[in-house]
Structure 1
Amino acid sequence: MNTIMKILGINGSPKGEKSQTRRLVLGVLEGARATGADVTFVDVCALKIQYCRACTTCYAKGECIHDDDMPALYEKLLDADGIVLGSPVYINSITAQLKTMLDRMADSVHCLHFTGKYGCAVSTAGGAMAEETAEYMNSAMRMMGATTVGTVSVNFMGNPDAILPAEKKAKELGRKLTEAIRTQWKDPVQQAYHADRKAHMKQLVLANKDVWTHEFDHWTAMGWV
């Protein structure tokens, strides 16, 4: 890539600077920055993001009924070449704040707005499910079209020093993310998944083209229909 790649890191922990997950997100960004990437960190819990109401206005118009911080964050997401999502484990999954952000992105699921982007995820847990939670975040990005390059997760199990090797792995993951973007890395398994998703979404959008006019226009502009 000739232009400077943009990496966006989003932390879903509400603990601010005390967040261990924040340390991992920043570790990924540090690794990416070391390779020359332009990095941006966002604390999603500091933003005002309202719940999705399932009104489908975004499907029809490409915009949301809510007046909050999500549109500006959405612009950052769409502008990024690589995305890092981070969350601690809250009852076997991501935090409510990060889930609220993802729920507001249904239009990106239908429009596959992350096609061509790359992502990775990090997660922390007091006891268990950090790996599964990180993979959930990656799966959400893949649903929107992204290719994911890996995860870093840590189950502390009463050992606060477990963050130290995890931070090192996070920096390595950041370098891996930028290398994937630079080389446009392809994963045959994910390519097959994306082909299936694209075929499914094509039929869904075509079946609703008279009401989901924004999404049909997007698919048409992309040359996918």
Structure 2
Amino acid sequence: MAFTRLSVNVNAIAQLRNRRNLPWPSVTGLSAIALEAGAYGITVHPRPDERHIRRTDVYEIDAMLRRDWPGKEYNIEGYPTDDFLALCESVRPDQVTLVPDLPGQNTSDHGWDTVAHKDFLTDVVARIHGFGARVSIFVDADPKLVDAAKSTGAERIEIYTGPYGGSFEQTVRQMRLEEVVATAKAAFAAGIDVNIGHDLTLKNLPPLLYRVPQVAEASIGHAVIADALLYGLGETVRKYRTACGETL
């Protein structure tokens, strides 16, 4: 039975660690717990100021995955500066997710205009393919962005689900859900795979995946780490796997 694979974003763990000049909580140690509980992969988003994930974390997680979890997936996301691309090239993750973040942004809050930036993204995708990684382009929930994303050569889009996940009024939430569903269906019709991410929870994830069960991957960080305070990380990962349609 097909299900959506869960990639745990560990930036929030790194952010908590960075509040003190101490080595805990351990980003690699907790990543290992998530993987032991069945997470399909680990996602990191290294930013230039290293306020969350540090460059050293990127390498340490890579070493752990290669040593202990060779079947799991490593997804590195970020804005494609030369430094970011050089970091990815040195690690060679399974997937690079291109996000149009400005350096000072608190978190990702919009996707690429794939039409306006098609030439730029095409060059970046080709560079990433040169070191063997799959590419996902972070886009808003708008079907009009799909064809240009596919034309860059990227294998996937990641639909920014923040407006859906952050909607609490029923009419607005339903409207945002329909936007995500329409974008996913446009991608499937165009022959490009779909990831989803941002503000996804145990409550809002199942209704979305009920509509588009073909989604390949859900990248979830904030809610997983918040729920881990209640349930523990291992049990939380298992709950999210179930929410992603996996039979445990």
- Scaled by the length of structure 2, the TM-score of the pair is 0.30
Higher-helix-fraction structure: 1
- Scaled by the length of structure 1, the TM-score of the pair is 0.32
